[in-house]
Protein backbone atom coordinates (compact mmCIF):
# COMPACT_ATOMS: atom_id res chain seq x y z
CA UNK A 1 0.00 0.00 0.00
CA UNK A 2 1.42 3.35 -0.97
CA UNK A 3 2.01 6.06 1.62
CA UNK A 4 -0.64 8.76 1.57
CA UNK A 5 -1.44 11.75 3.68
CA UNK A 6 -4.56 11.19 5.78
CA UNK A 7 -7.37 13.11 4.07
CA UNK A 8 -10.34 11.00 5.08
CA UNK A 9 -11.62 7.74 3.70
CA UNK A 10 -14.80 9.34 2.40
CA UNK A 11 -12.77 10.92 -0.42
CA UNK A 12 -11.59 7.54 -1.72
CA UNK A 13 -13.05 6.09 -4.89
CA UNK A 14 -14.64 2.66 -4.62
CA UNK A 15 -11.52 1.11 -6.21
CA UNK A 16 -9.26 2.86 -3.69
CA UNK A 17 -11.52 1.79 -0.82
CA UNK A 18 -11.46 -1.80 -2.07
CA UNK A 19 -7.64 -1.65 -2.20
CA UNK A 20 -7.52 -0.21 1.33
CA UNK A 21 -9.85 -2.91 2.67
CA UNK A 22 -7.80 -5.64 0.98
CA UNK A 23 -4.56 -4.21 2.40
CA UNK A 24 -6.24 -3.98 5.83
CA UNK A 25 -7.31 -7.64 5.57
CA UNK A 26 -3.72 -8.64 4.75
CA UNK A 27 -2.45 -6.80 7.85
CA UNK A 28 -0.83 -3.80 6.15
CA UNK A 29 0.18 -1.37 8.89
CA UNK A 30 -0.41 1.74 6.80
CA UNK A 31 -3.92 0.55 5.95
CA UNK A 32 -4.62 -0.09 9.64
CA UNK A 33 -3.28 3.39 10.46
CA UNK A 34 -5.61 4.95 7.87
CA UNK A 35 -8.59 3.12 9.33
CA UNK A 36 -7.59 4.00 12.89
CA UNK A 37 -7.01 7.68 12.06
CA UNK A 38 -10.37 7.92 10.34
CA UNK A 39 -12.52 6.32 13.05
CA UNK A 40 -10.70 6.67 16.38
CA UNK A 41 -12.60 9.72 17.63
CA UNK A 42 -16.04 8.44 16.62
CA UNK A 43 -15.41 4.99 18.12
CA UNK A 44 -14.09 6.44 21.36
CA UNK A 45 -17.01 8.88 21.61
CA UNK A 46 -19.46 6.02 21.03
CA UNK A 47 -17.75 3.85 23.70
CA UNK A 48 -17.76 6.74 26.18
CA UNK A 49 -21.45 7.45 25.71
CA UNK A 50 -22.41 3.78 25.62
CA UNK A 51 -20.58 2.77 28.80
CA UNK A 52 -21.09 6.06 30.68
CA UNK A 53 -17.67 5.53 32.26
CA UNK A 54 -14.37 7.01 31.12
CA UNK A 55 -12.21 4.04 32.16
CA UNK A 56 -14.57 1.47 30.67
CA UNK A 57 -14.72 3.53 27.48
CA UNK A 58 -10.93 3.50 27.19
CA UNK A 59 -10.88 -0.26 27.69
CA UNK A 60 -13.66 -0.76 25.13
CA UNK A 61 -11.97 1.55 22.62
CA UNK A 62 -8.67 -0.31 22.84
CA UNK A 63 -10.37 -3.70 22.72
CA UNK A 64 -12.35 -2.64 19.65
CA UNK A 65 -9.25 -1.89 17.60
CA UNK A 66 -7.44 -4.96 18.92
CA UNK A 67 -10.36 -7.14 17.81
CA UNK A 68 -10.60 -5.32 14.49
CA UNK A 69 -6.98 -6.12 13.81
CA UNK A 70 -7.22 -9.71 15.05
CA UNK A 71 -10.37 -10.37 12.98
CA UNK A 72 -9.46 -8.25 9.95
CA UNK A 73 -9.67 -11.30 7.68
CA UNK A 74 -13.38 -11.64 8.64
CA UNK A 75 -14.21 -8.25 7.10
CA UNK A 76 -16.68 -8.98 4.30
CA UNK A 77 -17.71 -5.45 3.36
CA UNK A 78 -16.26 -2.17 2.18
CA UNK A 79 -18.20 -0.42 4.94
CA UNK A 80 -15.45 -0.22 7.54
CA UNK A 81 -17.44 2.24 9.63
CA UNK A 82 -20.38 -0.10 10.23
CA UNK A 83 -18.03 -3.04 10.83
CA UNK A 84 -16.05 -1.10 13.46
CA UNK A 85 -19.18 0.19 15.19
CA UNK A 86 -20.54 -3.35 15.32
CA UNK A 87 -17.33 -4.47 17.04
CA UNK A 88 -17.44 -1.45 19.40
CA UNK A 89 -21.05 -2.20 20.32
CA UNK A 90 -20.30 -5.83 21.11
CA UNK A 91 -17.22 -4.92 23.14
CA UNK A 92 -19.16 -2.32 25.14
CA UNK A 93 -21.98 -4.75 25.84
CA UNK A 94 -19.50 -7.42 26.96
CA UNK A 95 -17.71 -4.99 29.24
CA UNK A 96 -20.96 -3.79 30.77
CA UNK A 97 -22.16 -7.34 31.27
CA UNK A 98 -18.92 -8.35 32.89
CA UNK A 99 -19.13 -5.36 35.22
CA UNK A 100 -22.86 -5.96 35.82
CA UNK A 101 -23.61 -2.36 34.93
CA UNK A 102 -26.38 -2.71 32.36
CA UNK A 103 -28.91 -1.14 34.71
CA UNK A 104 -26.79 1.73 36.07
CA UNK A 105 -28.21 4.97 34.79
CA UNK A 106 -25.93 7.80 35.95
CA UNK A 107 -22.27 8.73 35.84
CA UNK A 108 -21.25 12.29 36.51
CA UNK A 109 -17.73 11.66 35.15
CA UNK A 110 -18.71 12.30 31.52
CA UNK A 111 -19.05 16.05 31.74
CA UNK A 112 -16.48 18.48 30.45
CA UNK A 113 -14.89 16.27 27.81
CA UNK A 114 -13.24 17.86 24.80
CA UNK A 115 -15.31 16.11 22.10
CA UNK A 116 -18.41 18.18 22.75
CA UNK A 117 -19.18 21.33 20.86
CA UNK A 118 -19.40 24.32 23.20
CA UNK A 119 -22.85 24.13 24.77
CA UNK A 120 -24.65 25.35 27.81
CA UNK A 121 -23.25 23.30 30.72
CA UNK A 122 -26.68 23.03 32.34
CA UNK A 123 -28.21 21.66 29.15
CA UNK A 124 -25.34 19.25 28.46
CA UNK A 125 -25.52 17.77 31.96
CA UNK A 126 -29.24 17.17 31.67
CA UNK A 127 -28.95 15.67 28.20
CA UNK A 128 -26.23 13.29 29.43
CA UNK A 129 -28.32 12.26 32.43
CA UNK A 130 -31.40 11.79 30.28
CA UNK A 131 -29.44 9.74 27.75
CA UNK A 132 -28.26 7.36 30.46
CA UNK A 133 -31.79 6.90 31.75
CA UNK A 134 -32.83 5.37 28.43
CA UNK A 135 -32.91 1.58 28.09
CA UNK A 136 -29.68 0.44 26.47
CA UNK A 137 -31.33 -0.53 23.14
CA UNK A 138 -32.81 2.93 22.77
CA UNK A 139 -29.63 4.66 23.95
CA UNK A 140 -27.45 2.86 21.40
CA UNK A 141 -29.87 3.66 18.56
CA UNK A 142 -30.01 7.33 19.54
CA UNK A 143 -26.22 7.54 19.93
CA UNK A 144 -25.64 5.96 16.54
CA UNK A 145 -28.18 8.22 14.81
CA UNK A 146 -27.97 11.60 16.53
CA UNK A 147 -24.43 11.63 17.92
CA UNK A 148 -22.53 9.59 15.33
CA UNK A 149 -24.71 10.41 12.32
CA UNK A 150 -25.33 6.88 11.07
CA UNK A 151 -28.16 6.18 8.65
CA UNK A 152 -31.00 3.92 9.74
CA UNK A 153 -29.62 1.22 7.43
CA UNK A 154 -26.22 1.45 9.14
CA UNK A 155 -27.83 1.30 12.58
CA UNK A 156 -29.74 -1.82 11.56
CA UNK A 157 -26.51 -3.44 10.32
CA UNK A 158 -24.47 -2.45 13.40
CA UNK A 159 -27.07 -3.60 15.91
CA UNK A 160 -28.23 -6.60 13.89
CA UNK A 161 -31.91 -5.64 13.65
CA UNK A 162 -34.42 -4.90 10.89
CA UNK A 163 -34.46 -1.41 9.36
CA UNK A 164 -37.97 -0.73 10.67
CA UNK A 165 -36.91 -1.61 14.22
CA UNK A 166 -33.93 0.76 13.98
CA UNK A 167 -36.33 3.57 13.05
CA UNK A 168 -38.71 2.64 15.87
CA UNK A 169 -35.90 2.61 18.45
CA UNK A 170 -34.62 6.04 17.41
CA UNK A 171 -38.17 7.41 17.45
CA UNK A 172 -38.90 5.96 20.91
CA UNK A 173 -35.58 7.22 22.26
CA UNK A 174 -36.35 10.73 21.03
CA UNK A 175 -39.82 10.58 22.59
CA UNK A 176 -38.39 9.50 25.94
CA UNK A 177 -35.72 12.21 25.77
CA UNK A 178 -38.44 14.83 25.15
CA UNK A 179 -40.46 13.44 28.05
CA UNK A 180 -37.46 13.54 30.39
CA UNK A 181 -36.11 16.91 29.25
CA UNK A 182 -39.43 18.70 28.70
CA UNK A 183 -40.05 19.73 32.32
CA UNK A 184 -36.40 20.74 32.72
CA UNK A 185 -36.55 22.97 29.66
CA UNK A 186 -39.82 24.58 30.78
CA UNK A 187 -38.34 25.29 34.21
CA UNK A 188 -35.16 26.64 32.65
CA UNK A 189 -37.12 29.12 30.52
CA UNK A 190 -38.89 30.37 33.64
CA UNK A 191 -35.57 31.14 35.33
CA UNK A 192 -34.48 34.80 35.10
pLDDT tens-digit profile of 74-85?
888 878 889 999
Does 32 lie in the same domain as 91?
yes
Least-confidence region, from 27-31, 109-113, 151-155 = 109-113
Q: What is the Cα 14 distance to its own chain's centre?
A: 24
187 plus 135 within the same structural domain: yes
Are 70 and 92 within one domain?
A: yes
Residue 2 lies in a domain: no
CA angle 128/36/161 to nearest 5° reads: 55
- Domain range for 149 is 117-192
What's the CATH code of the domain at 48? 1.10.1740.10
pLDDT digits (tens, 9 = 90+) for 98-119: 775 444 333 433 433 444 444 5
Based on the fold, state whether residues 47 and 86 are members of the same structural domain. Answer: yes
**Residue that is last in its domain, among 71, 104, 137:** 104
CA atoms within 13 A on the CB side of 81: 17
| Residue 23 placed within a domain | yes
Do 167 and 140 share a domain, yes or no?
Answer: yes
SS (H, E, C) the chain: CCCCCCCCHHHCCHHHHHHHHHHHHHCCHHHHHHHHHHHHHHHHHHHHHHHCCHHHHHHHHHHHHHHHHHCHHHCCCCCHHHHHHHHHHHHHHHHHHHCCCCCCCCCHHHCCCCCCCCCCHHHHHHHHHHHHHCCHHHHHHHHHHHHCCCCHHHHHHHHCCCHHHHHHHHHHHHHHHHHHHHHHHHHHHHCC
Q: In terms of domains, do 121 and 89 share one?
A: no
**What's the rounded mean pLDDT across residues 54-70?**
93
Q: In 17-36, which positions are buried (b, 16+ CB within 10 angstroms) versus exposed (e)?
A: bebbbebbeeebeebbebbe
Confidence of residue 40 (pLDDT cuts 50, 70, 90): very high
Residues 87 and 160: beta-carbon distance below 8 Å: no
Average pLDDT over residues 183-187: 75
- pLDDT per residue as tens digits for the range 115-141: 444 456 777 788 888 888 899 999 999
* Structural domain count, the chain: 2
Tell me the CATH number at 131. 1.10.10.10
Is the residue at 74 inside a domain? yes
Amino acid sequence: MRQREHTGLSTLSSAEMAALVEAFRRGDREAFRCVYDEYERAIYRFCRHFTADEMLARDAFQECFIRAYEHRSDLQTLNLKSWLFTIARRVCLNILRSRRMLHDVFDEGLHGTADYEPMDVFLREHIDKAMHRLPIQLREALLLRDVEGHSYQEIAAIVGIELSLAKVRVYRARLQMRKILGPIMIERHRMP
